[in-house]
A and B are shown apart, each in its own frame.
Chain A
Amino acid sequence: MDFSFLFLLVLVSILAGLLGSMLGIGGGLIIVPLLTLGFGVPLNQASGASLMAVIVTSSAGATYYVEQKIVNIRLGMLLEVSTVVGAIFGAFASNLLEQNSLGQILLRFLLAVVLVYGAYYMTLRVRDSSLQSRTSPSQRKGILEDIPGVFRDEVSGKEVSYFAHNIPRGLIAALGAGILSGLFGIGGGLVKVPAMILWMDVPTKVATATSNFMIGVTGTAGAAIYYTTGSVVPSIVAPVTIGVFAGAMVGSRISSRVNSVWLGRIFAVVLIFTAVELVAKALGVSPI
């Protein structure tokens, strides 16, 4: 096997994992366009590899969060019903779209939109709702009733109780996150986290941890379809998964010591350029 190619793949994946975890957008959104534009890997194979990397990173992160009892498992499982449906649909659509040139352009255009949103998301500071959380449940009853939760805030050392409100809206956001996860092999945290914080009044920490906990399960549903469409290629999956995982492990440890605001701004520009390149290349290559 071409050693330098594999070595370069690992290196680039480490970088993607590192940046993704420091910037809070996950490694997937970085590695997918990078593999496609930089290495000429077909988009569906890049997404397949990214999906595996995302499952590892999320599961490794989840052990920590679960141990810290921050994850709201009930909330996660309920939203998972819709992310899994979205992931199946997304993976299915990605496979279909990739088979014709118009679909390929559409897919790349969509990825470009997600990249631009990712750039916006990184620079945007989502307000911490943990202080403003409404602590009372609404009147809704039945399956869509508010989900209570408690977690221990590390900073204040106090127990914070909260209710996850607006379950229907949360389910819709989760569906969107699932579709994106299935389409591009990304985690979809950048849709779920703000939805949980802004719409459902879930404390930021709980939202991040719960989203991370869900990503592995969503990823699995998407992966099942990627598997059987030949989009999981061992010689790409292994270097990408190992690299992103290693990078994310380091990134999560050093992120508190890095000025993520400036890093986010610089990288936002890179993401926007990548988006432009992606669209340009899709339009230029395809015979329309």
Chain B
Amino acid sequence: MDKRDEQAHLYERISKVLTIGIVTSIAIMIFGFLLLIRASTVQDVHLPSLGQLLAGFLRLDPSSIIWLATLILILTPISRVVTATLLFIRERDTRYFFITLTVLILIMVSFIVGLILSGFSL
């Protein structure tokens, strides 16, 4: 593949990942929102654990469903960076591989800082 095809392929892949993520997340969020309108009382859960989230999802708890939608939502841009990293590897662009890797690490740092802020313990 010449460099241009490679580039076109890169754009295509990123685009596909974005669309899937957004459509899924918005669909789940609309579903959760409809349940929210129907529900008489809603408990807004702050930072549920993954187990709580899944349990809530199974009993169609609107709050948990919306939480799940936001999780997919914020994972979408991360997948964008991962895709870019992989494609820079394929293009053998070491410099940009390390740059995108740095972005990924920084995002992970943001999650860790967030967890520390919330007083999360393992």
Contact = CB atoms under 8 A, between A and B. Distances in A.
Interface string A151-184: 0000000000000000000000000000000000
B77 to A, nearest CB: 4
Nearest to B8: A69
B121 interface: no
- Chain A binding surface SS class: helix
Interface in A186-228: 213, 216-217, 219-228
B73 A66 contact: no
- Which of A55, A63, A237, A238 gathers the greatest number of chain B CB atoms within 10 Å? A238
A279 to B, nearest CB: 28
B26 A52 contact: no
B20 to A, nearest CB: 10
A238 B32 contact: yes
A73 B81 CA distance: 10
A80 interface: yes
A59 interface: yes
Nearest to B106: A84
Contacts of A77: 81, 84, 96, 99-100, 103
A95 interface: yes
B47 A221 contact: no
Interface string A80-92: 1100110110011
B36 A1 contact: yes
A135 B42 CA distance: 58
A55 B114 contact: no
A235 B36 contact: yes
26 contacts: A1-B39, A1-B40, A6-B37, A59-B22, A60-B18, A60-B22, A62-B80, A63-B18, A67-B11, A69-B7, A81-B99, A95-B117, A143-B95, A216-B76, A217-B80, A217-B81, A221-B107, A223-B70, A224-B111, A225-B117, A227-B70, A228-B117, A228-B118, A238-B69, A241-B29, A242-B30
Interface of B: 7-8, 10-12, 14-15, 18-19, 21-22, 25-26, 29-30, 32-33, 36-37, 39-42, 44-47, 62-63, 66-67, 69-70, 73-74, 76-78, 80-81, 84, 95-96, 99-100, 102-103, 106-107, 109-111, 113-115, 117-118, 120
Interface of A: 1, 3, 6, 52, 55-56, 59-60, 62-63, 66-67, 69, 71, 73-74, 77-78, 80-81, 84-85, 87-88, 91-92, 95, 143, 213, 216-217, 219-230, 232-235, 237-239, 241-242, 245
